[in-house]
């Protein structure tokens, strides 16, 4: 669990630098990870991007200072990296539900976002079935949703996206364009700075496929760690993905390559106890 210890060291450094500009490269070096893998691990373990965590921690500390000292609002804003009182006030109100000046009033209710700490524990009570495969590049065709990680918005939007695509015939049409009977869920173009990414419901396209209706993308040649998941979607799938980051990555010499993550769905009832799904995670050796 050395990787989780290094992540804890990065958080310790982050907490000491709350009055400084966020430096992902420095934090990644402390964690001994690539910048992408550090941010991906952090997000998968905490449910927050690094930027979102730092933003909430800064606004927690700012509220504490405003409530307990006579410091000027503009000085608190500048201290925690906001260029103007207006931008600080907008962010403050979004978290606490009131303005910075109102935070000084006696008896007001303020939000406190606590510091994150990782509890290092050895699990290993359940086997993880996986294999590592090198794949040549291939083409996918599908429908794309632009979403973001802020406040877990992607966890609400993506299931609705699947529901709509099943109801309006999109999934059936994509399977008709496919070279097999599998449906793909692909996370692409992850931008941790803006907290945005693309999610694509797709199929592996037949050779020469073009479409004026759907997006056609090339998935590059990559090495994949492929995990088998058995059970109803999405509950078991989310648990398996969590275990990949909580248990598998920290125990191996691999890290995320920065390529697309992919879910591979077989035909059948996705709520069945024996339903099989595969999770494809692009990897590189450290």
Domains of the chain from N-terminus onward = 2-104 (1.10.10.60), 130-285 (3.20.80.10)
pLDDT tens, position by position, 143-168: 999 999 887 888 899 999 999 999 99
Q: 47-51 — which CB contacts under 8 Å span 24+ positions? A: 47/152, 48/149, 49/149, 49/150, 49/192, 49/195, 50/14, 50/22, 50/24, 50/192, 51/22, 51/192, 51/193, 51/195
What was the pLDDT predicted at 211?
87
What was the pLDDT predicted at 206?
84
What was the pLDDT predicted at 5?
87
pLDDT tens, position by position, 224-251: 999 999 999 988 998 899 899 988 998 8
* Chain centre distance of CA 42: 8
The residue ranking higher by pLDDT, 234 or 21, is 21
Mean pLDDT of 262-269: 93
- Evaluate if residue 222 carries a pLDDT over 90: yes
**Model's pTM, two decimal places?**
0.85
Tokens for 126?
A: 């359940």
CA–CA distance, 277 with 267 (Å, rounded to integer): 10
| Neighbouring C-beta atoms of residue 257, cutoff 10 Å | 18
């Amino acid at each position: 669990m050395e990787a989780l210890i290094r992540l804890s060291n990065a958080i310790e450094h982050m907490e000491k630098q709350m009055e400084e500009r966020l430096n992902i490269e420095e934090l990644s070096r402390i964690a001994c990870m690539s910048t992408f893998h550090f941010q991906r691990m952090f997000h998968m373990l905490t449910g927050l991007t690094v930027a979102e965590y730092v933003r909430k921690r800064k606004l927690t500390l700012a509220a504490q200072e405003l409530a307990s000292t006579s410091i000027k609002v503009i000085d608190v804003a500048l201290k925690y990296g906001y260029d103007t009182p207006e931008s600080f006030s907008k962010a403050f109100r979004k978290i606490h539900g009131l303005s910075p000046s109102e935070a000084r009033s006696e008896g007001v209710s303020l939000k406190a976002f606590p510091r994150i700490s990782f509890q290092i524990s050895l699990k290993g009570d359940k086997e993880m079935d996986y294999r590592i495969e090198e794949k040549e590049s291939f083409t996918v065709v599908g429908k794309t949703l632009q979403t973001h990680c802020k406040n877990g918005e992607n966890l609400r939007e993506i299931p609705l996206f699947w529901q709509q695509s099943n109801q309006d015939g999109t999934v059936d049409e994509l399977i008709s364009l496919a070279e097999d009977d599998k449906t793909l869920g692909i996370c692409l173009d992850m931008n941790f700075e803006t907290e945005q990414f693309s999610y694509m419901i797709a199929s592996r396209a037949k050779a020469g496929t073009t479409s004026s209706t759907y997006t056609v993308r090339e998935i590059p040649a990559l090495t994949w760690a492929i995990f088998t998941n058995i059970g109803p979607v999405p509950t078991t799938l989310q648990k398996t993905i969590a275990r990949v980051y909580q248990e598998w990555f920290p125990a191996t010499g691999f890290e995320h390559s920065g390529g697309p993550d992919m879910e591979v769905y077989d035909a059948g009832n996705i709520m069945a106890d024996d339903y099989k799904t595969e999770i494809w995670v692009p990897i590189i050796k450290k």
